[in-house]
Chains A and B, each alone.
Chain A
Amino acid sequence: MIKHDVVIVGSGLAGMRAALEMCKDLDVAILSKVYPSRSHSGAAQGGIAAALGNSEPDSWEEHLYDTVKGGDFLNDQDAVEEYVKAAPDVIYELEHFGCVFSRTPDGKIAQRSFGGHSKPRACFSADRTGHTILHALHEQLLKHSKSIKIYSEWYMHSLILDGDRCNGVVVSDIRTGAVEVMQARAVIFATGGYGRVFNITSNAFAGTADGVMAAFRAGIPLEDAEFVQYHPSGLYRQGILFSEAARGEGGYLLNGEGDRFMEQYAPARMELAPRDIVARAAQSEMDAGRGVDGKDIIHLDLRHLGEARIMERLPQIRQLGIDFIGVDCVKDPLPIQPTAHYSMGGIPTDKTGHVITDEQGTRVNGFFAAGECACVSVHGANRLGTNSLLDAVVFGELAGRSALAYVNTVGHAKVNESHEKTKVLEQFENIFQQNGSESYNDIRDEMKTVMTENCGVFRDEDRLKVCIDTIQKLRERYERGKVTDKGKVFNSEIYEIIELGNMLGMAEIIATAALARQESRGGHFRTDYPKRDDENFLKHSLTYPKDGELEIKYKPVVITKHQPAERTY
């Protein structure tokens, strides 16, 4: 049995920031199924929000209001307030760590405009902001390598809960296939999102719901799972991200007729309306047959920005266009379509990072979550661009601080090693032994297609029922799958199969929560209930496991400063 004071699962921005918060006092382990520097936080491009006011006067109050309005008033405003207030210091700290930021002529951190933010608030590093922050934190991790043990290419299988207390995780070393119990006084999940359940997604192959489903299987509900963000500018057919910064820098969105169609949907903010509104507008244009060449294509036009500006501010975007679709955005518009991008929902936590299990805020002792896998909720029904990197760093730090305080009050609890280990070994053995004929690849493809087609930008009761029905059938077929690689060394096939199991579970939760929410709010749009319904649905959903079925309960939204108002841009 491996023993540490704290185990952090996931090594993106949230996980690494949490580790740095505790490493001076505790023996910390951080686990990644890839390498820390390969975490998906690194794919974030456009920026990280903070009201620094480096190019225009700004305030946390405005950041708060923009975030709440952007989230369609489902955000818990007490948490949002702490979060936006913490933002400037968090950015300065990253800068002090050595993070490489683009600069204003007088040497301050440069800031640009972003969708839904009323001020230029996005601190950035060209168009690779996530990458530079990830590497700055990774550098700090290496600096503190004596007190932080990095487990690269280890996979987390399950959470060890004993009543209301968390005592560790069961993991395996991908390189050797060895299953181990990791005993810890506290566990922090920073496992990211689950966009891989969709066909068109900007997410890495690693975004497969491992963390959220491990929590769910341990009996913890998932909050607001129905709220998935579709980013307006994914590369056509591939879904690879073209940063909103392209529009922040002045890019246009054009339909097949060459019109800047946002005029019809958000005349005041145009291309810089929040993502849910822009994605819906783009999808509506395509559905009405106004896509480019009649296809599901919208044009992202940057030509008027000129080569110099593009090379200074958006060099990666340009290269991605050239490499992946043979289009140079200096000369031609980029073909895009909405792509599943971010999960607003996740493991419910309070604003200190403690995982909670009900509307009373009952804590799971010793279990914390931060970043995309968690739902605090600061993003409500729709996250604003550049608010997610901030979420990861702010709540990574807070979760680390909370875990540190908690660990100082408890020792290691007893863990039944063989019992915990056996459960995971059995899962491996079941997959190896089941002499099925079903192709896991077909199951995965069908899941992704049914989710994008029926649980995407626009949803309705019939489509969601098709979705749930299909997923349930796929789950049955999953039990009869056929595995080819039965080895122990770096068996990536078996891990993909386990991930698929997690995704099937998550897909059903998303669709079920979406079916229950009979209104339209933020990223969740029901064509059969096209209006927001504050009377019945101004509340967070909590989806629980119950006797193999799903049970949905709700908890109220915390409203402090801003009463829900009509949302126009």
Chain B
Amino acid sequence: MATFRIKRYNPEKQPEPYYEEFQLDIPQGATLLDCMNQIKWTLDGSFTYRMSCRSAICGSCAVKANGHALLACQRQASHLVKNGDTIVLEPLGNMKPIKDLVVDFKPFWDKIDKIKPYLQPKTRAPEKERLQSPEQFKRIDDSSTCIMCGSCYSDCNVLEVNDKFLGPAALAKAQRFVEDSRDGKTHERVKELSKPGGIWDCTHCAECVERCPKPARPFDRIKEVMTVALEERVTNNTGARHAISFTKSIKSSGRLNENTLPVESVGYFNVKGLFDLLPVGLRMLFKGKIPPILHKSIDDVDDVKRIFMEADKE
């Protein structure tokens, strides 16, 4: 007998959510969604969640189980039992609950809209198909597997503190067009995606990769967009300058120059940005946290340089 500890919320009945426990024998081979249906159909008809295809392609049934987002139809319930007998079910994060496990997807879709999620072709449509090599197809193969389930959006650590962030799903969707050989707006797209809220606001925690139920793996796609942005020389922004300064420092000394990194990131001619750094710098000075003024290389810096040379060759 397993315990399903479910976060319940019904604004028509009471304003605050609460937890309710249901006991259920998990049938052999049952998915989490099968168990949720058992609970709804035999124990409490008011238990509410979304579902449709139950074959991991429609993206309806994403919920949090034991604190992490997943597709309920894709997981064997028995694998999710924790501490001997319990599965905790909660609604997806970073979106407002509507009822029980159903959340409001509006901000999610609004952000998808923002990245112009449609092909803006380079050329006029030919009579037949536009040609695209298998290699070019491969560049957009993974991102096109996204099912818009919101698992990545739910568990994104940036969105928790910054709701302006476009989020992993929208950025992965953006990669699908940035790297589509048929799209003619690559430069405009990466320029737009380099603005605040875009690719450079990602903190590289890769939580979205962990949560993605498909091969879309948003953070991998975000890195690809970052690469294209740098290739396109869209570097007049803090994020790109930060990445360039970071690389330059490692390449030349094998370690991070923490004195130049913040200055180079905001930009030498960005007077306001530089002034904004001052209070932090002064506080660090008074607390004795300023890194050494003379930046020294590590002993094996030549090895690091060799690694960069090898990487540049590729």
Q: Which of A's residues lie within 8 Å of B, judged by CB?
A: 34-35, 37-40, 42-43, 91-92, 95-98, 100-109, 125-126, 128, 131-132, 135, 139-140, 142-143, 145, 175, 202, 204-206, 237-238, 240-241, 315-316, 319-320, 323-326, 439-441, 483-485, 487-493
Q: Are A241 and B141 in contact (CB under 8 A)?
A: no
Is B133 an interface residue, CB under 8 A from the partner?
Answer: yes
Among candidates A131, A139, A441, residue contacting B119 with C-beta atoms closer than 8 Å: A139
With contact pairs A35-B105, A37-B59, A204-B54 given, residues A490 and B129 touching in the complex (Cβ less than 8 Å): no
Q: Are A42 and B117 in contact (CB under 8 A)?
A: no
Among candidates B136, B137, B148, residue contacting A37 with C-beta atoms closer than 8 Å: B148
| A202 closest partner in B (C-beta) | B55
List residues of chain B with CB within 8 A of the CB of A43: 53, 55, 57-58
C-alpha spacing A102/B145, complex, angstroms: 13
Is B29 an interface residue, CB under 8 A from the partner?
Answer: yes
Other contacts beyond A96-B129, A98-B119, A484-B44: 15, CB < 8 A: A34-B52, A34-B60, A35-B105, A38-B58, A95-B129, A98-B183, A101-B132, A131-B57, A142-B118, A205-B53, A237-B29, A326-B76, A440-B41, A485-B48, A489-B11
The 17 listed contacts between A and B (C-beta, < 8 Å) are A34-B58, A34-B60, A38-B58, A39-B58, A101-B137, A103-B136, A128-B57, A132-B144, A139-B118, A140-B118, A142-B112, A204-B53, A484-B44, A487-B10, A487-B46, A490-B48, A491-B48
List residues of chain A with CB within 8 A of the CB of B83: none
Q: Are A100 and B140 in contact (CB under 8 A)?
A: yes
Q: Are B102 and A490 in contact (CB under 8 A)?
A: yes
Query: Quick one: CB contact mask for B1-33 with A, threshold 8 Å, 1 for yes?
Result: 000000000111100000000000000010100
| A130 closest partner in B (C-beta) | B57
Q: Are A490 and B52 in contact (CB under 8 A)?
A: no
Q: Are A107 and B55 in contact (CB under 8 A)?
A: no
Is B98 an interface residue, CB under 8 A from the partner?
Answer: yes
Q: Are A103 and B102 in contact (CB under 8 A)?
A: no
Q: Are A490 and B99 in contact (CB under 8 A)?
A: yes
Q: Are B59 and A38 in contact (CB under 8 A)?
A: yes
Q: Are B113 and A145 in contact (CB under 8 A)?
A: yes
List residues of chain B with CB within 8 A of the CB of A96: 121, 125, 129-130
Q: Are A325 and B29 in contact (CB under 8 A)?
A: yes
Which 6 residue pairs across A and B have the least CB separation, nearest first? A98-B119, A107-B131, A484-B45, A485-B46, A441-B41, A139-B118
Quick one: which of B70-87 are within 8 Å of A by CB?
74-76
* Nearest Cβ on chain A to B183's Cβ, whole angstroms: 8
List residues of chain B with CB within 8 A of the CB of A145: 113
With contact pairs A484-B46, A490-B99 given, residues A105 and B40 touching in the complex (Cβ less than 8 Å): no
Q: Are B56 and A323 in contact (CB under 8 A)?
A: yes
* Nearest Cβ on chain A to B28's Cβ, whole angstroms: 10
Q: Are A487 and B13 in contact (CB under 8 A)?
A: yes
List residues of chain B with CB within 8 A of the CB of A491: 46, 48
Q: Are A42 and B46 in contact (CB under 8 A)?
A: no
Q: Are A98 and B180 in contact (CB under 8 A)?
A: yes
Q: Are B45 and A40 in contact (CB under 8 A)?
A: no
| B113 closest partner in A (C-beta) | A142
List residues of chain B with CB within 8 A of the CB of A105: 133-134
C-alpha spacing A35/B60, complex, angstroms: 9
Query: Quick one: CB contact mask for B138-151 with A, threshold 8 Å, 1 for yes?
Result: 00110011011000
Among candidates A39, A92, A315, A325, residue contacting B215 with C-beta atoms closer than 8 Å: A315
List residues of chain B with CB within 8 A of the CB of A237: 29
Is B128 an interface residue, CB under 8 A from the partner?
Answer: yes
Q: Are B55 and A103 in contact (CB under 8 A)?
A: no
* Nearest Cβ on chain A to B144's Cβ, whole angstroms: 4
List residues of chain A with CB within 8 A of the CB of B117: 139, 142
* Nearest Cβ on chain B to A327's Cβ, whole angstroms: 11
C-alpha spacing A101/B131, complex, angstroms: 10
List residues of chain B with CB within 8 A of the CB of A484: 44-46
